[in-house]
Amino acid sequence: MIYDFIKNLLVLVYPNKCVFCGKVIEVNNLKLICNDCIDNVPIFYKNFFIDSRNGNKGFCAVKYNDIIKSSIYRFKYKNNISYAKYYADIMFKCIENDSRFHADYLVPVPIYKSKKRKRGFNQSELIAMELSKYTEIPCNDMLERNRNTKSQSKIKFNERQENVKDAFVLKKGLDIRGKNIVIIDDIYTSGSTIKYCRKVLEENGANVLFFTFATIRDLDK
Ligand SMILES: [Zn+2]
């Protein structure tokens, strides 16, 4: 597959650097996370979060901090797409053997067509595809973004709801009644994006949780 080809090419061209701090680590260390970062990245094991502000429920793997911020920046904007695999690895460890995590489909938060063309990939889809390999739950890009919204990180918190309201639709001809769906995204911020994705899926009869790699907010447990 073209994706695997590009991934392998990137591994050849770039030396192995820690996914989190960017430090060069041993060539044969397939983990790509240095020993310092394994100790310093705040990972939530076995946690189920409830966002009382908008009713979202689900899982986050790590608390957002400066290390995570720069890592996600390199992943999204510097083409370090292989990071998706390492994020998914950490995410899987957080929900492995947790009976509250159950799904028929992993559904990535969609990005708008032109943005995907420009960036070359949808970061949430890459994470969902990698997580799918660990969980053996199929990844399904059943949601579409029907307009180009502003980046949630570039606007004020209270404007974020309006920005993504009604921005998502379910692809035509899909029957998801009674299905358990987990929405996948890279970062949990205001929760508005997850909320409006969730609403579309719930209106079509699905039960919906979310799972993001990182969370900026302290959510209730
Ligand atoms: Zn590191």
How far is ligand 1, taken at its centre, from the CA of residue 61, in Å? 17
How far is ligand 1, taken at its centre, from the CA of residue 18, in Å? 5
| pLDDT one-digit tens code per residue, 130-174 | 999 999 999 999 999 987 777 777 777 777 777 788 889 999 999
Q: Which residue has the tokens 């908008």?
A: 54
How far is ligand 1, taken at its centre, from the CA of residue 40, in Å? 9
For the chain, what is the total number of helices (H) and then of strands (E)?
Answer: 8, 7
**Residues 71/197, Cβ–Cβ less than 8 Å:** no
Q: What pLDDT, on a 0 to 100 scale, did the predictor assign at position 139?
A: 98
| pLDDT one-digit tens code per residue, 14-24 | 668 889 988 88
Residues 6+ apart with CB under 8 A from 143: 107, 108, 109, 110, 168, 169, 170, 171, 197, 200, 201
Mean per-residue pLDDT, 199-216: 97
> Strand, helix or coil at 42?
coil
| pLDDT one-digit tens code per residue, 83-139 | 999 999 999 999 998 999 999 999 999 998 888 888 899 999 999 999 999 999 999
How far is ligand 1, taken at its centre, from the CA of residue 44, in Å? 18
Mean per-residue pLDDT, 66-76: 93
**Residues 15/22, Cβ–Cβ less than 8 Å:** no
Least confident of 7-16, 21-30, 107-116, 196-205: 7-16
- Statement: residue 200 has pLDDT above 60: yes
Q: What pLDDT, on a 0 to 100 scale, did the predictor assign at position 47?
A: 85
Instruction: Indicate the helix (H) or strand (E) that contains 10.
Output: helix 2-13
> Strand, helix or coil at 127?
helix
Residues 6+ apart with CB under 8 A from 99: none
Q: How many residues does the chain have?
A: 221
Residues 6+ apart with CB under 8 A from 111: 119, 122, 123, 124, 145
Give me 47's structure tokens. 């946690």
pTM of the full structure? 0.87
How far is ligand 1, taken at its centre, from the CA of residue 219, in Å? 26
